[in-house]
Amino acid sequence: MTEAMLSRVADHLYWMSRYLERGEHTMRLLSVNLNMMLDQKPVEREQRWGKLLDSLSVTMPDGLPLDEYHVIQLLTFDMENPNSIMSCVASARENARHVRELISSEMWEHLNSLYLQVRAADVDAVCRDDPYSFFRDVYVGFLVIQGVTDSTMNHGEGWDFIQAGRYIERANATAHLLDVHHAVLTTPGPDELVERYLDWVGLLKSCTAFEAYCKIHSADVHPRRLLEFLLLNDQFPHSVSFAIGQLETALTAIADATEKRKGIRVNRLAGRLRAMLGYTSVEEIMDGSLRGYLSDVKLQCTQLHTAIHDTYIVYPIESALNA
């Protein structure tokens, strides 16, 4: 008999993982944009900060200027902002605390030390000293947790819920990022324009994809190829297609572990999204509506999240008793 997992436990693992992925995403976007600001004309900086906040679905509180100091504060330390690095790490830790017995002690230790590390810092110190080394350390913190998770935890049902949380968050966030930047991908213009090139490189770097892209396509960045790479490539870990593939694998494993036919609906949704990404060409997307396509991806991610929740976490008692 397989040991059944408490729904609450599965939920904590799923959200721990989502928050970690979200925190890492916020951190990566912030750090890439801080770097790009150095090459930006002062007049365009505010616009770029605005776009960064849009990609993270965050707004600057009224009355505060859109500048480096306030953006770092908002995205790194602001506990009122649920997507700030501090909020995400604290939420991940809180979820981990409830399942401390199930995760490995190394996972807890590294998550806890990342939490302490971010909590000990503040915006003044980070701006005064060296923001890059601070974010680099935080980035390493996120990577270590992920590595330790994969190498010290049993790859059973609990780990599958962690995978599911990580990849659904990643697929959704990447689709949203591309959506916010749709204009630089679809508006025709001279490709050799430096500003446009910087935007594209920025997008790739936001997904840690620049080097991987160059290995396939060289540094000759072209929006069509870029979109194909970040959306449809099924070998690059930060592409939407790859994330959905991993999500589907995790959900299949969960359905097998729970020996329930009820996983069917969840798996059907995951399979449909995967097929959609697998059988569309980038030309079709560009010729049609890019925004429509990306909205569809995001909508299906939301449906998947709800389906996972309704199937495994909070299901109606009647359906469970009849099964």
Partner 1 sequence: MTILNSSLQARFARYELGDAYDEMFASHHAPRPHYEALYRRLIELAPDELQQRQRAADLSFLNQGITFTVYGDTQGTERIFPYDLLPRIITGQEWSVIERGLTQRITALNLFLRDVYHDGHILNDKIVPRALVYSCKHYRREMRGVKVPRDIYVSVVGTDLIRMPSGEFVVLEDNLRVPSGVSYMLANRQVMKRVFPRLFADYGVRPVENYGQAPLSTMQALAPPNVLEPTIVLLTPGVYNSAYFEHAFLARQMGIKLVEGRDLLVHDNVVYMRTTAGLQRVDVIYRRIDDDFLDPMAFKSDSVLGVNGLFNAYRAGNVALANAIGTGVADDKAIYAYVPKIIRYYLNEDPILSNVETYLMDDEKHRTYVLANLEKLVVKAVGESGGYSMLVGPHSTAHEQELFRQRIQAFPRNFIAQPTISLSRAPCFIDGMVEARHIDLRPYILYGDRVRIVPGGLTRVALRRGSLVVNSSQGGGSKDTWVLYD
Residues that bind partner 1 (CB under 8 A): 2, 4-8, 10, 97-98, 100-101, 105, 157, 254, 257-260, 262, 312-313, 315, 317, 320-321, 323
Shortest Cβ 169–partner 1 spacing (Å): 19
Instruction: Output 108 or 134, the one with its CB closest to partner 1.
Output: 108
Instruction: Output 6 or 183, the one with its CB closest to partner 1.
Output: 6
179 neighbors 294 (Cβ within 8 angstroms): yes
Instruction: Output 96 or 209, the one with its CB closest to partner 1.
Output: 96
Q: For residue 309, give the 3-state DSSP assignment.
A: helix
Listed residue (117, 64, 60, 52) closest to 86, CA to CA: 117
Instruction: Output 77 or 135, the one with its CB closest to partner 1.
Output: 77
Shortest Cβ 158–partner 1 spacing (Å): 10
Shortest Cβ 165–partner 1 spacing (Å): 14
**Alpha-carbon gap, residue 54 to 51, rounded angstroms:** 5
Tokens of 107: 């996972």
Tokens of 10: 């599965």
Helix (H) or strand (E) holding 38: none
239 neighbors 213 (Cβ within 8 angstroms): no
Shortest Cβ 148–partner 1 spacing (Å): 16
Tokens of 120: 């000990």
Tokens 């199937």 locate to 311
Shortest Cβ 271–partner 1 spacing (Å): 20
Instruction: Output 165 or 223, the one with its CB closest to partner 1.
Output: 165
Shortest Cβ 188–partner 1 spacing (Å): 50
Q: How many CB atoms lie within 10 A of CB 112?
A: 15
Shortest Cβ 6–partner 1 spacing (Å): 5
Shortest Cβ 109–partner 1 spacing (Å): 9
Listed residue (116, 131, 128, 113) closest to 75, CA to CA: 131
**Alpha-carbon gap, residue 206 to 83, rounded angstroms:** 16
**Alpha-carbon gap, residue 323 to 309, rounded angstroms:** 18
Q: For residue 65, give the 3-state DSSP assignment.
A: coil
Instruction: Output 122 or 195, the one with its CB closest to partner 1.
Output: 122
Instruction: Output 63 or 316, the one with its CB closest to partner 1.
Output: 316
Q: How far is CA 158 from the centre of its chain?
A: 20
Q: How many CB atoms lie within 10 A of CB 127?
A: 14
Instruction: Output 2 or 235, the one with its CB closest to partner 1.
Output: 2
**Alpha-carbon gap, residue 89 to 137, rounded angstroms:** 14
Shortest Cβ 113–partner 1 spacing (Å): 14
Instruction: Output 217 or 262, the one with its CB closest to partner 1.
Output: 262
**Alpha-carbon gap, residue 107 to 5, rounded angstroms:** 19
Q: How many CB atoms lie within 10 A of CB 165?
A: 29
